[in-house]
Amino acid sequence: METMHPSQTAPKKTPGKAALASFLGSTLEYYDFFIYGTAAALVFPHLFFPSDNPAIGLIAAFATFGVAYIARPIGGLVMGHFGDRLGRKKILLVTLSVMGLASLGIGLLPTYEQIGIWAPVLLVAGRLAQGFSAGGESAGASTLTLEHSPEGRRGFFTSFVMTGYAAGMVLSTLVFIPVSALPEDQLMSWGWRVPFWLSVVVLALAYWVRTHLDETPVFEEAHEQREVKKLPLRDVLKYQSADVLRVIGMSIMSVMQTIFTVFGLSYATETAGFDRASILTVNAVAIGLTMFVMPVAAKISDRVGRRPMVLTAAIGCALTIYLYFWTLSTGNIALVFAAAFLNMTLLYSAFNGIWPSAFAEQFAAPVRYSGMALGNQLGLVIAGFGPMIGGLLMTEGTHGWVPVAVFGTVCMLISAVAAYSARETAHTPIDELGEPYLKAVAAEQAARHARTAPVEGLDRKKGRHVEQQTLAGKTAVVTGGGSGIGEAIARTLAEEGAAVVVADVDTAGEVVAKAINDDGGRAAFVAADVISEPSVAGLMDQAVTRFGGLDILVANAGIAEVKAPVHELDLAAWQRVLDVNLTGVAICNKYAAAVMVAAGRGSVINMASILAHVGQANSQAYSAAKAGVVNLTRSAALTYARQGIRFNCVSPGYVDTPLVAGLPDEVRARMVERQPIGRLARPEEIAQVVAFLASDRSSIITGACINADGGYTAI
């Protein structure tokens, strides 16, 4: 079987397109959130919560801002569940639609003066819909982009989820600056509605991009291999509840954002005496610049790690929030901008550009959307009510802001502790993320299969005698498992109870793994090139990660040669045959043995050929390689016998594979004539020999080479 590099058949990742889709979706989400926050600070107290005491109306408006953060965890739970069950892309189309339509609805609402108490009720309903949508948007966009991103650049590409935050803030502010400059009567009648209506433009563009985006390769693979969970929320709480708590703690850092953008705006205009346009401009520039800082911070985190960056941001923001509020009390707009730049543009960006990847990387793929959404949105509840809490904590006088700054500092310290306790994940391969989940599930699967392995007796449903599964609870890797003898071996080992990793260079192996799963077995497909050490090392790691160990290796991958006499030997072709048929076997043996030595057990079966024992004209390269496999096996058997690892090989003769079935009838007839048993062997018969050598029934056998050739070599 010819080999190729695994990247040729691996599911396609589109990080650029995923980043763009997430950027546009987040732009809409935060545009809608910010225009609501701005309206809550400037106009909603007068239009929806009229009161003789302006402070009461302001607090009520801020409360509706915070209500969305109560709906966000619910949206996160619902959208996370279906995102892990049905796919990231489908759910992100739903979140986008709900957010856009809710914002449009708010822009069409009548005021308290027009319909009385129903006005704030409907406003709260629209805000709840926004929050419900946002609860699934950020986690889904982060998960989708992360799973499309290449290793070593996950932080960079996923940061575009939050550059959408900055773009949304800038857009909302740029829209509100001219609106806020309208005469009071026009602002209060129709002006405030315009920003909400304009959200439809972003909605249409983002929806179009997302409809043209592929589902993530990680989810596709999980779906094909039946790793999609029925109740991902239950599983994430069962296996990774500590990580959910860590994400909650780190998410509390978002208090800094809501205090700055919402409470700070209100404090600056109502107490410090700044005009609305000036502060909106400062906020727009300070946050707008984060669009450039966040990708840089994320790129740095791809090198130095997520934790150092988050810790720097938490401690820095805890200190500079005092500076920001102090500059507001000075009345100097230049000082205000300098403090805003330091606090929000530089320091907060070191968190805001990184948390989409840092949070998503804490969880394994089957529960990633649910785990991130739950933890992130529960933490954001405090952030949502940050402006209201600030309003309640603020005291009279020049330094009335100090209790608000202390509140922000406490939140930053909580986030720092949570970040310090989290695993560093920047350099962890994506298939190994969510270590507690992967280890717990693998251990449970191994225990379950050991506990429930069928025993010899009567099959009561079918009324027939059944044999014990001899490989229950074991994990096998079969290279070249996509067709012929390799396919038969993979299927037979699965029927005997083993979890099978089907390794091949094309999608034929993927078809075999799916068929095994459809028949009730357990299998996974891994694209692998047997002459690439990194590829083979990754293959063995996949077996351990997916199924909890590696007990059996069947090195079956190989290629035929173009026959020619020695004097016409093509040395490049000779080397190619030796590379795949001998060196490839040695590489697979090397990395499988390393895993097996650590476990203190294992069985390696190398597939040779009768041409290792008898000659055939013009087949010198193939014969030499297969003879090398036989002696490699014998040598390794002596090396590892006392370490509990058995090495054997099987040399098939003429086998009725699909390749042989396609030969001319006269060629097949000559093959049959050479067989003492008078027929070709079936692939399933060769597979039964391999299954025997892989089982504990052959525990005394090592260093053997079984000629499964119908008596051919006995002649």
Q: How far is CA 22 from the centre of its chain?
A: 15
398, 404, 408, 410: CA torsion to nearest 10: 110
Contact between 531 and 580 (Cβ < 8 Å): yes
Select from 167, 169, 148, 195 the least CA-distant residue to 43. Answer: 195
Q: Read out DSSP for 656-694?
A: --HHHHTS-HHHHHHHHHH-TTSSPBPHHHHHHHHHHHH
CA contacts within 13 A on the Cβ side of 611? 16
Q: How far apart are CA 671 and CA 690, in angstroms?
A: 23
Cβ neighbours of residue 1 under 8 Å, at least 6 residues apart?
Answer: 480, 482, 483, 484, 486, 504, 505, 557, 558, 559
Contact between 420 and 307 (Cβ < 8 Å): yes
Q: How far apart are CA 254 and CA 359, in angstroms?
A: 13
Q: How far apart are CA 590 and CA 639, in angstroms?
A: 12
Query: Could you give the 3-state DSSP secondary structure of residue 70?
Result: helix
Select from 639, 637, 585, 612 the least CA-distant residue to 712. Answer: 612
- Is 712 assigned a catalytic role? no
Query: Could you give the 3-state DSSP secondary structure of residue 619?
Result: coil
Catalytic residue among 31, 622, 654, 712: 622
Cβ neighbours of residue 202 under 8 Å, at least 6 residues apart?
Answer: 24, 27, 28, 31, 100, 171
Q: How far is CA 8 from the centre of its chain?
A: 21
Select from 243, 402, 240, 249 the least CA-distant residue to 311. Answer: 249
**Pairing between β-strand 457-459 and β-strand 464-466 as defined by DSSP bridges:** antiparallel
Q: Which residues pair with 476 in a beta bridge?
A: 500, 552
- For residue 100, give Cα distances in angstroms to 189, 274, 621: 22, 32, 66
Residue 468 sits at φ, ψ, to 5 deg, of: -65, 140
Q: Read out DSSP for 552-609?
A: EEEE----------GGG--HHHHHHHHIIIIIHHHHHHHHHHHHHHHHT-EEEEEE--
Cα separation of the two ends of the chain: 29
State the amino acid at position 106 in one-letter form.
Answer: I
Select from 142, 48, 50 the least CA-distant residue to 88. Answer: 142
Gyration radius of the chain over CA positions: 32
Q: How far apart are CA 117 and CA 599, in angstroms?
A: 69
Q: Which two tokens stand for residue 484?
A: 């012929």
Q: Which residues pair with 499 in a beta bridge?
A: 475, 522
Query: Could you give the 3-state DSSP secondary structure of residue 249?
Result: helix
Q: Which residue is associated with the tokens 């079987």?
A: 1
Contact between 681 and 708 (Cβ < 8 Å): yes
Q: Which residues are catalytic?
A: 622
